Homo-oligomer: A and B are copies of this chain.
Amino acid sequence: MKLKIEKEILLENLNAVTKAISTRNIIPVLNGIEFNLEKKGLYLTATNNDITIKTFIDKKNIKEINEEGKIIIYGRYLLEIIRKLPSEIITIEEIDGNKTVISTKNSKYNLNCFSVNEFPKIDFKETSNPIIMLSSTLKELINQTSFATSLQESRPLLTGINMKIIGNILECVATDSYRLAKKIIKINTPVEESINIVIPARNINELLKIIESEKDIEMHIFNNKILFKYDNILFQSSLLNGSYPNTDNFVPNNFEMEVEVNLIDFYNMIDRASLLAQSKDKNTIQISIIKDKLIVNSSSQEAGKVEEKIDIINKKGEELKISCSAKYLLEALKTFETETIKLYFNGQIKPIIIKESDEGTLIQLILPIMTY
């Protein structure tokens, strides 16, 4: 295998595929990136047996293809080397069957390689009817929900995002059992058979790091895996097995109380109040709704106490005192981009719901904390 290629083109593709190389890999060859040079171009593949990423560099973007072939190069070293090389033409050449020489005018790297036979053979099957959406739509969908997944491996399913598609309605749900995030969007082409899968959040977060520009993205969904096609990149993730809890009835339809406030003011007051909250983890704050004011209180034995207030823009219902985690509230508020948001309550021991408006398709739910 021998080729000449511009640094920037190679680097961009290496940046994408190395997202599939995990730092805690115990199988040596999974630290490698497969270079497969064919007449039509160069395929790069990396996998950790959970995520697999494959990119393609067309021959028109390669300076010279001197000799076709396959090699497996140590991924992390390669990325750092290419990143630090000056912006020049780089020559990559296999020698003696188990070494690769990376060279520019003044630099020459002689890298050990893995055996081509040890690298897993990955199947990138596609469906005939992928779901297609803009990359920005997928990005928003994930960012508005994935933060609410659980980090605890004790309930593996909750570490994933539940994606359900019925007809042309796609719903994503994430919950760690203390809070829940739900987003509903319409897709262009309805599915014939409904879909209900759980995508590992940490895998799809790696996909988001690769998506840079606004392009169509195709989702090919199977029973045990999902394949995303974006630009010249194939990104495949395993799915989590098991049936995700049915969360349909978690969000009530009727509320005793509704309050509309300015989003930024509300966010900032919670942020400031959380400085003096009791425990670092949960940092409980108390929200009070009195007349036309929303008041937030919190206190810490060491430092003291704080009271913050903002004006309520619109309100239905009387008075209320309710406590919840400032951290959860802040994370939920970060997913909104409207000027105002609405908070919905059913008393002090029922979930708090946050939406952009009554018709909002993004729903954040937070369980209150009982304080005595």
Residues of A within 8 A of B (CB): 74, 77, 80-81, 84-86, 99, 106-112, 268-269, 271-272, 275-276, 302-310
| Among A86, A106, A269, A305: residue with most chain B CB under 10 A | A106
Contact A84 B271 (CB under 8 A): yes
Q: Chain B residues with Cβ under 8 A from A112's Cβ?
A: 302-304
For the complex with contacts A84-B268, A107-B269, 15 further pairs of A-B residues with Cβ separation under 8 Å are A74-B302, A74-B303, A77-B276, A80-B275, A84-B271, A84-B275, A106-B308, A107-B306, A109-B304, A109-B305, A110-B304, A110-B305, A111-B303, A112-B302, A112-B303
Bound complex: CA A330 to CA B112 (Å): 26
- Across-interface contacts of A85 in B (CB, < 8 A): 272
Task: Tell me if A84 and B304 are in contact (CB < 8 A).
Answer: no
Chain B residue at minimum C-beta to C-beta distance from A78: B303
Contact of A310 among B84, B106, B272, B276 (CB under 8 A): B106
Residues of the B chain whose Cβ atoms lie less than 8 Å from the Cβ of A272: 81, 84-85, 107
- Check B81 against A275 for contact (C-beta < 8 Å): yes
Chain B: CB-nearest residue to A301:
B112
CA A305 – CA B74 in complex, angstroms? 13
Residues of B within 8 A of A303 (CB): 74, 77, 111-112
From residue A318, how far is it (CB to closest CB) to chain B in Å? 22
In the complex the two chains form, what is the Cα distance from A268 to B83 in whole Å? Answer: 12
Residues of B within 8 A of A74 (CB): 302-303
Q: Give the complex CA separation of A44 and B271 in angstroms.
A: 26
Rounded to whole angstroms, the CA-CA distance of A200 and B95 in the bound complex is 53
Residue of A268, A275, A304 ringed by the most chain B CB atoms within 10 A: A304
Residues of chain B with a CB closer than 8 A to A302's CB: 74, 112
Contacts of A305 in B (CB 8 A): 109-110
Contacting residue for A269 out of B81, B106, B308, B310, CB 8 A = B106
Considering the complex, give the chain B residue whose CB is closest to the CB of A303: B77
CB proximity of A91 to chain B, nearest CB, Å: 14
Q: Which residues from B are CB-within-8-Å of A86?
A: 268
Select one of B80, B106, B109, B308 contacting A107, CB under 8 A: B308
Nearest CB of chain B from residue A140's CB, rounded to whole Å: 27
Question: Can you give 15 A-B contacts (C-beta < 8 A)?
Answer: A77-B275, A77-B276, A77-B304, A80-B275, A81-B276, A84-B271, A99-B304, A106-B269, A107-B306, A108-B308, A109-B305, A110-B304, A110-B306, A111-B303, A112-B304
Inter-chain contacts of A81 with B (CB < 8 A): 272, 275-276, 306
User: Separation in Å of the A212 CB from the closest CB of chain B?
Assistant: 26
